[in-house]
Amino acid sequence: MEANQMVPSFRAALSVEAINGKYACSLGVFLGDVKVWDSGHFTRFYTSERCVLELTTDGDLQLKGAKEQVGWRTATFGQGVEITLIYRGRAIWYWWTP
């Protein structure tokens, strides 16, 4: 990146919306204030009890509901994905091919 260019301001958020006694869960990615991607864009993931975002030990980011039901995943397992948590709960993701 050139010295005079701004660094993009990406953020991610877990969204949980109550709909008819169930919950629609999705992971959204924002560039500034604009949502540029959502895991529920094509198909919504509904759960009745909980919504959890989990990074598995083998590197797969999963959006899960009750009884470990997976509603969405990155399919990055086994590719050397890891997470480093930094000050105030922010996360930095590192991807590389082992």
31-70 pLDDT, tens digit per residue, is 988 999 999 988 899 998 889 988 888 888 899 998 889 9
Residue 1 lies in a domain: no
Count of domains forming the chain = 1
- This prediction has a pTM of 0.70
Q: Which domain holds residue 39?
A: 10-94
Check residue 89 and give its pLDDT: 59
Residue 2 lies in a domain: no
Angle (CA) 78-62-96 rounded to 5° is 35
Tell me how far CA of residue 26 lies from CA of 6, 16, 22, 39, 84, in angstroms: 28, 7, 13, 5, 22
Residue 69 lies in a domain: yes
Mean per-residue pLDDT over the chain, rounded: 82
Check residue 70 and give its pLDDT: 94
Residue 75 lies in a domain: yes
Residue 71 and residue 45 in contact, taking contact as beta carbons nearer than 8 Å: yes
Residue 66 lies in a domain: yes
Residue 48 lies in a domain: yes
Residue 40 lies in a domain: yes
Residue 43 lies in a domain: yes
What is the band of 1 on the pLDDT scale with cuts at 50, 70, 90? low
